[in-house]
Amino acid sequence: MTIPMWMLLGFAAWTLLLLMATVGVYRWTRIIFRNEPVASFRSDRLEGADWYQRGTRAHANCVENLPVFGAIVFVIGAIGLRGGVVDALCITVLIARVCQSLVHLARPQTDSVVAVRFSFFSVQLACFLALSGMAVHHG
């Protein structure tokens, strides 16, 4: 397996870990220990503790960006684009994604915290664009 594929797998694993550690823990503890009905967790309104809301949003951010990274990794694999720069960009995507999620989870969302979080997202976006540009140039 190539480094980009490993990083894509890492991104997917991180997305699942966030789901289990935030949304899963919050909901299942309430269902099991507080006898809340499974259907009581609605997606059309904000509810729950602040950390749970941040966890839900951090997980959703991963779900929104995973297909983009997946498509890019698929294309660079299909056209045989390889090399140190490709590997470094893919590694950077995963590191920036984990950091963005951790910043999202760790602190209430002030302007400075959101700016830091957005910086990590911007790094990912730059990597996505660089990888896409390299694919277009190579293909």
Identify the CATH number of the domain in which residue 73 sits: 1.20.120.550
pLDDT above 80 (res 129): yes
3-state secondary structure of 108: coil
Phi-psi region of 76 (alpha: psi -120 to 50; beta: other; left: phi over 0): alpha
Of 6-10, 31-35, 105-109, 123-127, the one with minimum mean pLDDT is 31-35
Q: How confident is the model at residue 103 (pLDDT cuts 50, 70, 90)?
A: very high
Residue 27 lies in a domain: yes
CA-closest candidate to residue 72, choices 22, 134, 30, 29? 134
> How many domains would you assign to the chain?
1
Classify residue 45: in a domain, yes or no: no
User: Packing angle between helix 111-138 and helix 84-106, nearest 10 degrees?
Assistant: 160
Query: Residue 117 falls within a domain, yes or no?
Result: yes
Residue 56 lies in a domain: yes
| Tens-place pLDDT, residues 26-77 | 888 888 888 788 777 777 777 888 888 899 999 999 999 999 999 999 999 9
- Total Cβ atoms within 10 A of residue 24: 15
d(CA 34, CA 18): 22
**Domain limits at 117?**
3-40+50-138
Q: Take residue 129 and report the two structure tokens written for it.
A: 């664009």
